[in-house]
Structure 1
Amino acid sequence: MRGRAGYRVRVAGIAAGLLVAGAAQAASYEFVPAPQADLNRVYRVDKATGEVISCQYGLQENTIGTTLCFGPGEGAGPQAPSEYSLVASRHLREAGVFRVNQRTGAMSICYVLDDAVVCTPQGNAGSTAPAPAGKP
């Protein structure tokens, strides 16, 4: 009898481990709405690669509408492997979001330009970013 109880505990432990691993894989994206008050756009980031896309509702005649998605353009594709998240500002007229590298603190701004999501180069207050034009 004692052997069976030990077997059940081991099986339960393996099952719990598989559930945790499955949940970690399922949680590979984060979604954040654009802060702009009159824009129905949502951004998605791959939490491991930093790749950003965006989708929004679009009108289409004689239908209930369509989902318009914008793939990754310049700077929005995969970055160095890390832990990424998205942060929306509280600026009601802002259509973009911040992509944040949780490990390094580096940030970039991502927004839709034409038919793609683009992101600025990653910046970090501790980095040696070039001075703006006309500033020493």
Structure 2
Amino acid sequence: MGRALGAGLFVLPAFGAALAAPFEFAPAPQTDLNRVYRIDKATGEVGACQFQLKEGGVGVTVCFPAGEGAGPQAPSDYVLVPSRHEREGGIFRANVRTGELSVCYVFDDKVVCTPMAK
């Protein structure tokens, strides 16, 4: 019985890692914009969603898929970093392993990002 219990303990850490949140969310810094950015922490792919009023009814959630430069990057650890600029609608994408940054924003109904740079 001791062996079965001990073997089960090795499975728990792996199972916990599988349940780790693959996405991170952060609001756009612009104070009059209700946009939230989403990043896949492993691939760096960025998307965004915002609330939009609908005439005569309940509002809708409008989402913007990844466009130019916002798609998957080299596998790493990525985070979103909002600036403190209250009129900035974009957000920084940071690769915490390499220190590279890019700026992502909504353009023509897609999220686009500048090339990663140090």
Q: Does 1:119 align with 2:113?
A: yes
Unaligned runs of 5+ in 2: none
What is the deviation of 1:28? 0.8
Count of matched residue pairs: 118
Number of the residue aligned with 1:80: 74
Q: Does 1:19 align with 2:15?
A: yes
**Deviation per residue, 1:18-59 (Å, 9 max, x gap):** 4312323xx111100001011100000111111100000011
Number of the residue aligned with 2:4: 7
Percent of residue pairs bearing the same amino acid type: 57
Flag the structure with higher strand content: 2
**Structure possessing the higher radius of gyration over alpha carbons:** 1
What is the deviation of 1:123? 1.2
Q: TM-score, normalised by structure 1?
A: 0.80
CA distance in 2 between counterparts of 1:10 and 1:78 reads: 36
Unaligned runs of 5+ in 1: 125-136
Number of the residue aligned with 1:129: none
What is the deviation of 1:15? 4.8
What is the deviation of 1:96? 0.4
Letter in 1 for 2:72: P
CA distance in 1 between counterparts of 2:7 and 2:115 reads: 48
